[in-house]
Amino acid sequence: MTVSPRKRDVLSISDIAGDLPELLRRASRLKAERKRGALRPILRGRHLAMIFEKPSTRTRTSFEVAMNDLGGHALYLSSKDLQLGRGETIADTARVLSRFVDAICYRAYRHADMVELARWATVPVVNALDDLEHPCQIVADLQTMHERWRGRFRGHRLAWVGDGNNVLHSLLLGAAAVGLDLTAAVPSGYDPRPDLMDAARKLAHGTRARIELTHDPQAAVRGADAIYTDVWVSMGDEAEKAARETAFAGFQVNAALLDLAAPTAFVLHDLPAHRGQEITDDVLDGPRSAAWDQAENRLHAQKAILELLLRPRASPRRRR
Ligand code: CP
Ligand code: NVA
């Protein structure tokens, strides 16, 4: 296998840890340019293949609109409709798509499949969510906090209330990389993976971010500057639904929990929400909800990531 020297993958947010300050700056600038109608077609002639094994509203749409806004083109490819669904290998799919497109984003069940696709693709591969991480989500989340805190992460503390899942894994690494203090409250038995915790703590050495884990949601939220939650039952965890609903019962983000946070604290949710489970209607729809800005920022963050990977134009697509 020949690997292009210019190929760069984003399988984990740690792959772009050093780029985060610049990505956030570019995402804000691209947001302002879009609002002024001043975006330039910097990805003209570039093509993004988007392979989805699971449903998506935000990730799919934001990638597609991001490519169109920047003069490029995106193709939605459901894994069920590809020959992948009939047993063509990930490796062969990666090699063929790399002859057609300039980058591939992939929403997968298994992180091992993400790694396999990246191994064989000769164009950049971007993780659009798998069972281990959701890196693009966290770029938009950091952008949302960055905007509300006027560009300062230091001195603010984010509390996570919920599952030790893919979103938390990327958030731990992302917070550590930018120097944001993060206290994660998860039910016993639903801790984030220890290797991801270790990686986050290692990254935090350089930025002096405090990364903490607890099983007490009230303790995590007390005095926090923002609260972030996600579904109790992620895609792929449906068989555990009943057990999870019992385990997560004390982990709802509601008005009483929000009362413990700083008076200026706001609430983040990556969406889709299961209203009445991890978050109540009054909080998600209330004045302290940042979830809608956060969803919009997926578009601007996606553009910054695509720009990083696809511009300036690399050598002509590899022929093997
Ligand atoms: N937050 C997020 O990734 O949403 P989708 O599943 O709709 O893409
Ligand atoms: N943790 C959730 C995130 C959805 C965007 C899931 O994996 O289903």
Q: Which of 7, 19, 14 is nearest to 119 (CA)?
A: 7
| Number of the ligand closest to the Cα of 58 | 1
Q: Report how far apart, in Å, the C-alpha atoms of 206 and of each of 66, 196, 268 are.
A: 32, 16, 26
pTM of the model: 0.95
Verify that 146 and 285 share a domain, yes or no: yes
Q: Which ligand is nearest to the CA of 299?
A: 1
Q: Is residue 316 part of a domain?
A: no
- Residue 7's pLDDT is 87
Whether residue 149 is found in the same domain as residue 227: yes
4-18, 33-47, 242-256, range with the lowest pLDDT: 4-18
Radius of gyration of the chain (CA): 19
* Residue 3 is assigned to a structural domain of this protein: no
pLDDT digits (tens, 9 = 90+) for 154-203: 999 999 999 999 999 999 999 999 999 999 999 999 999 999 999 999 99
Query: Ligand 2 in contact with 167 (CB < 6 A)?
Result: yes
* Whether residues 190 and 168 fall in one domain: yes
**What CATH number has the domain bearing residue 216?**
3.40.50.1370
| Sign of the dihedral defined by the CA atoms of residues 287, 235, 177, 161, in that order | positive
- Same domain as 111, residue 205: no
Question: Do 155 and 90 share a structural domain?
Answer: no
Question: Based on the domain organization, do 291 and 302 belong to the same domain?
Answer: no
Q: Is the CB of 62 under 6 A from ligand 2?
A: no
C-beta 56 within 6 A of ligand 1: yes
Residues 180, 288, single domain; the answer is: yes
Say if residue 239 is in the same domain as residue 305: no
- Residue 3 pLDDT grade (very low, low, confident, very high; cuts 50, 70, 90): very low
End-to-end CA distance of the chain: 9
One domain for residues 162 and 291:
yes
Does 59 sit in the ligand 1 pocket, CB within 6 Å?
A: yes
Q: Is the pLDDT of residue 319 over 80?
A: no
**Residue 142 maps to a domain:** yes
Q: Is the pLDDT of residue 113 over 90?
A: yes
Confirm whether 195 is domain-assigned: yes
The helix (run of H) or strand (run of E) holding residue 276 is: none
Query: Which residues constitute the domain of residue 271?
Result: 137-296
* Total number of domains in the chain: 2
pLDDT, residue 311, reads 84
Give the model confidence (pLDDT) of 118-133 as tens digits.
999 999 999 999 999 9
Q: Indicate if ligand 2 lies below 6 Å from the C-beta of 229.
A: no
Q: Give the HSE-up count for residue 232: Cα atoms under 13 Å, Cβ half-sphere.
A: 23
Same domain flag for 121 and 149: no
Closest residue by CA, ligand 1 atom 3: 59
